[in-house]
Amino acid sequence: RNLEDLNEQLRDWLDTVANARLHGTTQRIVSEAFAAEQPELQPLPAVPFDALLKLERRVSHDGLVSIGGNYYSVPDRTRRLVEVHQLADCIRILDEGRLVASHPVLEGRRQYRIDPAHRQGLARHAARKTAPDIIVGRLGDHVARRSLDFYQAVAERLAVAGSRS
């Protein structure tokens, strides 16, 4: 068929079924309710209005905030709760009411928007560190170097000893 036929079928369905029914919530005929409200309806503004969705998110250990399946960087605020303002085209991230990051909205999912300025502080912080993060062993501890054949022999002895018990 064609688009014109589809539109005719839709118009017939609207007139005879959808708009002629008694609405379950209002208990009014849909077409009659629309006719009564129509004089009060106004056109939408020519410019879209800013709709704002406020969210609360926790900053991940790698300095990212997850919003809508995408990830946006923030300056070092690891594990802190931040407030997110999501607009149609922009993500704003606030920490205690202060804007700390602003990014364009990413389309799709599993995408990353990382502002290089957010990572500079991390690089400086890492360069200042002098003590190692992990200390292994104590001074004077010594681990003997052995060939893999040694460990193979130990495994075979353990297997034989285990089969006897």
The residue assigned the tokens 């379950």 is 24
Q: What's the whole-number average pLDDT of the chain? A: 85
Q: 71-83 pLDDT, tens per residue?
A: 999 998 778 999 9
Question: Of 119, 43, 125, 141, nearest to 75 (Cα)?
Answer: 119
What lies within 8 Å, CB to CB, of 29 at 6+ separation is: 19, 20, 21, 22, 23
Provide the pLDDT confidence category of residue 165 given band limits of 50, 70 and 90: low
Q: What is the DSSP letter of 14?
A: I
Contact call for residues 111 and 71 (beta carbons, < 8 A): yes
Q: If pLDDT is split at 50, 70 and 90, which confidence band does 164 have?
A: low
pLDDT at res. 86: 96
Q: Look at 155 and 41; give whichever has higher pLDDT.
A: 41
